[in-house]
Structure 1
Amino acid sequence: MSHSGSTHRALPAVSQAQFLSCLSEAGKRRDGAPLDVAACLTAAGFSTQLSSITLSADTPLTHALLCGVQFLNCTIDWCSFNASSLSGSQFIACNLRNASFIDASIENCLFRDCIMREVMMACASLDGVGFERCDLVIGSFENARILSSRFDTVTMAGTHFLNAEVRDSSIRNSNLENSVFFDVLRDFDVDSDSRKTVGTTRPTAVLPVDPADRGTSIPRVLVKLDQAAGMIPLRIAMRSPSIDRRKFDHEIGVALQRIAVSPAGGLPIPQRLLQTVDDDPETFAQLASITAKAKTLSANVNAIVLPGGEDIPSALYGEEEDTPRSGSDYRRSLLELALLRESLNRGVPMMAICRGFQLVNVYFGAKMLQNVEGQRGTRDFNLTQGSRNGIYGEAMRETLASVVSHHQAIPVSAQSLVEHLKPSVVHEGLVEAVESPHAGGVPALMLQFHPEFFRTEPMYRAPESFVSRSESLPMSAANQIFWQIFSDAAGAHRAKQAVIRELKGPRSVPPSASAI
């Protein structure tokens, strides 16, 4: 007679401290092998059911084995299950916030009665997975492989399925309002009631994110897009694991070398890089997959955000790197350059903040100062005399106090050579905002400073840093107006796209569901 069930029940539950200690001890002994969580628990004499445990970014569950582990009433906050293998595991009544399952193998698992906010399943393989009575909010199944899985009685507002592969999977009794499927909805078996809910009620916006680096700016941008601008933020992997990093690095090196030995032709290096990829997509297959991703996104959204972050590779503006920093990974830069180009070509409204602002300037040929001092804290900004009737006129009628946090910058001397942009705000010789000199162009807000820090509480508490402390610094209420300007531009784009669809004739899906 089997006693496996009674044995399971007889084992005591593990406490928070015991669980972390168990993982720590097992991690010391595994010699590079995946951490087997169930074996770790049973070897220590504990049940494989985790009840009311909190998992965080410090919980070592990357590259782990989770077979038959049950999470009950757990809080899973910024925990990474990346590249892990989950089989027969269950998440019951859990709160998952910014959990990441990138490149994970998830087989015969169940998520039931869970709140799942900003959960990333990019490039994950899901086979026989059930989502029952769950709220999946602003989630991502980008490049995921979804087989024989079911979504039953779920809501998926802000969740997207960019480039997902779907087979033998179903959606039942669900609210799909403001879910974005990028043409893969047709691959699901969807019941009639769920299908009636398909469509978007608000503008959609691309927001590149890195789940491995919580940062302090991007989560606040997301909150502003959602709450202040009234948009649907789509969290897109800025460094997708679907890209072969070794091949990508080789291709970017070849492309930059090809540019270095060829005539300039009057175009800045970033534009020549994109053109090089377009001209030879077979040689640059990894790079071309990223530019293709930008095309797909720009054709299906109403706004694009280029957020703050690490340094821009100095090779993109033709200089050697002063000091080795974090800008050597070109995957993000290529994606954002391609998104920038598509924004300009398709007329998709854009907001570029800090690094994004610098990238726009570099795209048009500006040079950067690689290291400037003292650019942290609040600053008072005023519009240049010729910009008072421009895109920032309403937000900056009076002096604007906003936050800066950067060590690279665009000097006026470098930006003045860029004919496609004009300085709108200059502070101590550095350009803090630019706009297009041409009336009627693509609505674009390009800011070195950070309006997202005005009265924004993200879904987590960031580690103590200057930028988290800046929440207490005085900022002008007019910082909020930038988000309204962006919202109006995205709303106008959405309305225009609806008219275009109507002129093209009836479709088999609701007109509001432009991105399904």
Structure 2
Amino acid sequence: MGVTGPDRGGVAAWIMTWWAIRWAGGKAVHITPGRPRSLQELDGLVVGGGADVDPGLYGQDPLSLIREIDATETGWRQRILGFVLYPLLWLLRRVLYTKLHGGDADRDRLEQALIREALDRGLPILGICRGMQLLNVVCGGTLHQNLEGFYREHPQVRSILPRKVVTLTEGSRIAALTGTNPLPVNALHNQAVAELGQDLVVAAREASGVVQAIESRNAPLILGVQWHPEYLPQKARHRRLFQGLVDSSRDLSVRARSQ
């Protein structure tokens, strides 16, 4: 099972994803721009979270920091603090988390190629946060770069803890894996799915209307979730996403050997 990530940072996500796949009975192989790998010898793909997807990939211009502050902070005091505080926070995040500002072009190219290869070969895919967004873009969809407008009535939650609740689409494949009851999830994202890509459908939303999961109804299992299930290993419903992926990969391998 291939698991993508950045060259710098992403260690915690890789370790937790490796553990989740191992727990489900699979074997994870780390893939980064500096250590690329074909899927020829692998039977599934996890596209991990990280830096925002380059807006140029879906035909939009990047939102500048000034425009984001203008859109987010409406009061003059908040705007003044924003122009001072947000650049400092951005610098702190870059130093501590080694996340590339403005995206990761090398990773974008690698993961686009891997997603296309997985789709062409009919391999199971799980996109996590950024991975879900890139899956949608590769399939021809678009993203919301800024979610501020969605949270006027419903507070925006940003936490590694499962403090947000999403509603699963009845009859969806993800609901079949996790159960149909509303699902508590974490939230670490800045962007979200706007227009759906080809052959993709909404599998979950939050109360604000933001898409929280997408999937293909075609075989094999192709899922994208906006949250980070790898950070919730103690939650059986989230572990079932990895179990479903590993089971789908195993079934594919068995069918291939029998032919």
SS class of match (2:193): coil
* TM-score normalised by structure 2 residue count: 0.75
Is the 1:375–1:407 Cα contact (8 Å) retained in structure 2? no
Q: 1:375 deviation in Å? A: 4.1
**SS of structure 2 residue aligned to 1:442:** coil
**Greater per-residue helix proportion:** 2
Q: Which residue in 2 is equivalent to 1:334? A: 109
Q: 1:372, 1:407 within 8 Å by CA — same for their partners in 2?
A: yes
Q: Does 1:380 align with 2:165?
A: yes
Aligned to 1:201: none
Letter of the structure 1 residue corresponding to residue 47 of structure 2: L
Contact 1:344–1:442 (CA<8 Å) still a contact in 2? no
Per-residue CA deviations over 1:166-224 (Å, capped at 9, x if unaligned) read xxxxxxxxxxxxxxxxxxxxxxxxxxxxxxxxxxxxxxx11123353145323211211
Q: Do the aligned partners of 1:382 and 1:396 also contact (CA within 8 Å) in 2? A: no
Is the 8 Å Cα contact of residues 298 and 348 (structure 1) preserved in structure 2?
A: no
Cα separation, partners in 2 of 1:364 and 1:455, compared to 1, 3 Å: closer
Instruction: Tell me, in whole angstroms, the C-alpha distance in 2 between the residues paired with 1:235 and 1:352.
Output: 15
Given the superposition, is the C-alpha separation of residues 496 and 331 from structure 1 closer, same or farther in structure 2, using an over 3 Å criterion? same
Is the alpha carbon distance of 1:399 and 1:443 closer, same or farther for their aligned partners in structure 2, counting shifts above 3 Å? same
Over 3 Å counting, the alpha-carbon distance change for 1:330 and 1:211 in structure 2 is closer
Q: Secondary structure at the match of 1:311?
A: coil
Q: Which has the higher relative contact order, 1 or 2, with Cα contacts under 8 A spaced 6 or more apart?
A: 2
Say yes or no: does 1:218 pair with 2:1: no
Distance 1:212 1:331 in 2: 12
Deviation of 1:299 after TM superposition, in Å, equals: 1.6
Residue type at the aligned position of 2:26: M
Query: What TM-score results when the alignment is normalised by the length of structure 1?
Result: 0.39
RMSD: 2.1
Q: 1:266 maps to what in 2?
A: none
Q: CA separation of 1:382/1:316 partners in 2, compared to 1, >3 Å: closer, same or farther? A: same
Cα distance, 1:306 vs structure 2? 0.3
Matched, 1:345 2:124: no
Say yes or no: does 1:369 pair with 2:144.
Answer: yes
* Structure 1 residues 310 and 240, CA gap change in structure 2 (3 angstroms): same
Deviations 1:223-257 (A, max 9, x none): 1112x221111112x2217xxxxxxxxxxxxxxxx
CA distance in structure 2 between the partners assigned to 1:323 and 1:396 by the alignment: 40
- Aligned to 1:486, what secondary structure does the other structure show? helix
Q: Which runs of 4+ in 1 moved over 6 A?
A: none
Within the candidate set 224, 245, 249, 1:446 is matched to: 224
Aligned counterparts of 1:434 and 1:389: Cα–Cα separation in 2: 9
Change (3 A) 1:311 1:496: same
The letter for the 2-side match of 1:348 is L
The equivalences for 1:151-300 within 5 A come to 205-226=1-22, 228-236=23-31, 238-240=32-34, 293=37, 297-300=38-41
Report SS of the residue matched to 1:216. Answer: helix
> 1:326 and 1:499, CA in 2 relative to 1: closer, same or farther beyond 3 A?
farther
Judged with a 3 Å threshold, the aligned counterparts in structure 2 of structure 1 residues 314 and 359 are, in CA distance, closer, same or farther, namely same
Shift in Å at residue 391 of structure 1?
A: 4.3
1:312 is aligned, of 53, 60, 74, to 53
Structure 2, unaligned stretches of length 5 or more? Answer: 66-99, 149-155
**Considering only CA atoms, is the larger Rg found in Structure 1 or Structure 2?**
1
Is contact 1:220–1:453 with CA below 8 Å preserved after alignment? Answer: yes
**1: CA distance between counterparts of 2:250 and 2:210?**
32
Equivalent in the alignment of 1:422: 201
Question: C-alpha separation between the residues in 1 aligned to 2:179 and 2:64?
Answer: 36
Answer yes or no: is 1:496 the counterpart of 2:249: no
**Amino acid aligned to 2:54:** P
Q: Select the residue among 401, 411, 433 that pairs with 2:184.
A: 401
Q: Tell me, which stretches of 5 or more residues in structure 1 are unaligned?
A: 1-204, 242-289, 457-475, 501-516
- The farther-off stretch of 312-321 and 490-499 is 490-499
1:432-482 Cα offsets, whole Å, 9 max, x none, are 1111144xx2211211111111236xxxxxxxxxxxxxxxxxxx5311211
Letter in 2 for 1:490: S
Once the two structures are superposed, residues 308-349 of structure 1 have per-residue CA deviations (whole angstroms, 9 ceiling, x without a partner) of 000111100111110367244321111111111111111111
Identity of aligned residues (%): 27
Q: CA–CA distance in 2 between the matches of 1:347 and 1:452? A: 24
For residues 18-75 of structure 1, give each alpha carbon's deviation from its aligned partner in whole angstroms, at most 9, with x where no partner exists.
xxxxxxxxxxxxxxxxxxxxxxxxxxxxxxxxxxxxxxxxxxxxxxxxxxxxxxxxxx
Closer, same or farther in 2 for the Cα pair 1:327/1:219, shift >3 Å? farther
Counterparts of 1:496 and 1:406, CA distance in 2: 37
SS in structure 1 opposite 2:19?
A: helix
**Alpha-carbon distance between aligned partners in 2 of 1:303 and 1:392, rounded to the nearest angstrom:** 21
Deviation by residue 1:80-134 (Cα, 9 ceiling, x = unmatched) = xxxxxxxxxxxxxxxxxxxxxxxxxxxxxxxxxxxxxxxxxxxxxxxxxxxxxxx
Structure 1 match to 2:78: none
Q: Of the candidates 384, 390, 415, which is equivalent to residue 173 of structure 2?
A: 390
3-state SS of paired residue (1:380): strand
Secondary structure of the 2:212 match is strand
Going from structure 1 to structure 2, the CA distance change for 1:343 and 1:402 (only over 3 Å counts) comes to: same
Structure 1 residues 445 and 419, CA gap change in structure 2 (3 angstroms):
closer
Q: How far 1:390 sits from its partner (Å)? A: 2.7
